[in-house]
Amino acid sequence: MRMGLILFILLGVMFVNQTNVHAGVFSGNFKIDAQDSVNLKFTEAVLVDDIITIPIYIESDDDINSLDFSLVFNNEKFTYLSVIDHTGHIQYTDFFNPNDYTLRFTSNSFSLYAINKKIISIRFKVSSPCVETNDVFSMISYLNGDLCSSKLPQAVICRTSTEENDEVKIQVYPNPTSGQVHIIAPSDAVVTMISSNGTMKKTFEAKLNANEIYTIATNNYPSGMYWLLLDMDQKSTGQVIIIRHD
């Protein structure tokens, strides 16, 4: 009778521990909290033509078996396309509601999710030459069914002009630069220069005639990568420039 009671208690403990994994409670009774996060890593986003791919990472010190989130974004710039699974083992469902412009994603796996590695990527079609983190209005995330924090690191991503694009052909030189950068555009334009992390943004009201040189002094700008965005005659294009101060 005593051995049977001990066996019953042990089985009960094992059942509780297995149940707690799905409820979000782990060894040592640690629970998912604000220290655990889902990172929409805009700083690693890739924009090719009109398609942007943004990776998502999990940051946690716990074992993770499920990931869920909802994402509200700027529908004037983004059109949701698909989710890319980088793990090969998660089961997921994605649903975009056009009424509230919210992407909802839910997933789980019998295998543990990798920590600080790409789990999935989200693909959007982009209708603007530049997008930034602020175009994601809100993100609510859950790990193992429990609310956690969401990270959206600041960044600006722009398409660059190509030689094949004859309609909007611009010249930007020298690049890299240290003291100044020259711009030649085919028509009047508003020039915006944005740091790659989105912390600095300056707009220049520049009336550029065909083949006219417009110069921006870069002496006072910190070294780094910047985006030059030109809006002209209902057309837009962007160019990456590098500022280096030796």
In the chain, the amino acid numbered 64 is I
- Reading the block at residue 9, the tokens are 């208690």
CA-CA distance, 27 to 108, in Å (whole number)?
A: 19
The whole-number pLDDT of residue 165 equals 44
Is there a contact between 143 and 36 (Cβ–Cβ < 8 Å)?
yes
The whole-number pLDDT of residue 55 equals 94
Q: Are residues 153 and 164 in the same domain?
A: no
Q: Are residues 138 and 204 in the same domain?
A: no
- Reading the block at residue 215, the tokens are 């110069």
Instruction: Give 10-residue mean pLDDT values along the chain (246 residues).
Output: 45 41 42 92 84 94 95 93 92 93 95 95 88 92 96 82 52 87 81 72 65 84 82 72 84
Instruction: Note the Cα 123 to chain centre separation in Å.
Output: 10
β-pairing verdict for 102-108 and 66-73: antiparallel
Q: Are residues 129 and 42 in the same domain?
A: yes
pTM of the shown model: 0.64
DSSP at 167: T
Q: Are residues 153 and 165 in the same domain?
A: no
Q: Are residues 42 and 142 in the same domain?
A: yes
The whole-number pLDDT of residue 71 equals 95
Number of domains in the chain: 2
The contacts of residue 209 (CB under 8 Å, 6+ apart) are 187, 188
CA-CA distance, 213 to 224, in Å (whole number)?
A: 23
